[in-house]
Amino acid sequence: MTLLKAESLSIQFGGLKAVDKVSLEIEKGQLFGLIGPNGAGKTTFFNLLTGVYKPTEGKLFFDGQEITNVPTVSRSHLGIRRTFQNIRLFKGLTVLENALIAFDQNMSYSLFDSFLKSSKFHLQEKEAYDKALKLLTLFKLDLNKNDKASDLSYGAQRKLEIIRTLMSDPQLILLDEPAAGMNHSETAQLMDLIKKVRDDFKLTILLIEHDMKLVMGLCEQIAVLDHGNKIAQGRPDEVSRDPQVIEAYLGPDLDSGVTT
């Protein structure tokens, strides 16, 4: 069953067609990769999916509902959550607080309830705490829970960003270069984690990544952007031997040679 469908989605900045008539469908539960050279339009595509940008052309559907004109915050409530290429955490807050804040939008108690510290409030606080701790443990950040987010390594900050997306029971998470700045062992660990959260939380995941080992080893379906156009889509083995993809991005030895 299709969860996300983009129909001829486009956006133009001045004369630049940053995303040009891109159509794609992501199945529920799929691990989907979006690759392509620097400036190909990948992050811009995420910004269209989350409603940061309005498309100049095309339509977007989520879970059977058209969301082309639905505002960002409503898309988030529908279950679309993302991480950012340039990490966005509350750096002065602790690791645990960063996770808890991401749960807040889910809370149904009113301000009045919170003043009264009603039983509902306590229940939800506890639910948030338990959930945060479970995720921090899964991502091996539980021992850092009281550290300031800014004191974490770059790789750990990226993991915390993913945890934040998971705090609100999303349906679809969009990960913008989750392995950027990670070393080989961190990347290998991240691959296992992404697969595990997809399976355990029955999520759909769309990820942008320049680390081809991660993309090819993890994703079931991959779309390739170049100059705003989708130039290929298929299984990793299909995409990696597509002459147009090799020419535009991968190179003959699967070394993309791009910077993040």
Ligand X SMILES: Nc1ncnc2c1ncn2[C@@H]1O[C@H](COP(=O)(O)OP(=O)(O)OP(=O)(O)O)[C@@H](O)[C@H]1O
Interaction site with Mg ion (CB under 5 A) = 42-43, 85
**Positive or negative, the Cα torsion across 49, 51, 55, 58?**
positive
CA dist 86 and 154 (Å) reads 11
Chain centre to alpha carbon of residue 254: 24
68 vs 85, beta carbon nearer Mg ion: 85
Q: Determine, following the binding rule CB under 6 A, whether residue 158 of this chain makes contact with ligand X.
A: no
Question: CA 26, 225, 209, 93: dihedral to nearest 10 degrees?
Answer: -80
136 vs 208, beta carbon nearer Mg ion: 208
Please report, for residues 36, 97, 150, 233, 243, the alpha-carbon distance to residue 248 in angstroms, rounded to integers and kept in the order given: 8, 42, 37, 14, 9
Of 50-109, which residues contact ligand X (CB under 6 A)? 85
Q: Determine, following the binding rule CB under 6 A, whether residue 187 of this chain makes contact with ligand X.
A: no
174 vs 250, beta carbon nearer Mg ion: 174
Spatial CA neighbour of 209 closest among 248, 176, 255, 160 = 176
Residue 44 interface partner, choices ligand X, Mg ion, none, CB cut-off 5-8 Å depending on type: ligand X
Residue 13 interface partner, choices Mg ion, ligand X, none, CB cut-off 5-8 Å depending on type: ligand X
- Two structure tokens written together for 156: 């750990």
Spatial CA neighbour of 154 closest among 190, 130, 129 = 190
Residue 41 interface partner, choices ligand X, Mg ion, none, CB cut-off 5-8 Å depending on type: ligand X
Residues that contact ligand X, how many (by CB under 6 A) = 12
Q: Determine, following the binding rule CB under 6 A, whether residue 18 of this chain makes contact with ligand X.
A: yes
Q: Determine, following the binding rule CB under 6 A, whether residue 10 of this chain makes contact with ligand X.
A: no
Query: Which one of the spans 20-28, 31-39, 117-125, 138-146 is the region binding ligand X (CB under 6 A)?
Result: 31-39
Residues that bind ligand X (CB under 6 A): 13, 16, 18, 36, 38-44, 85
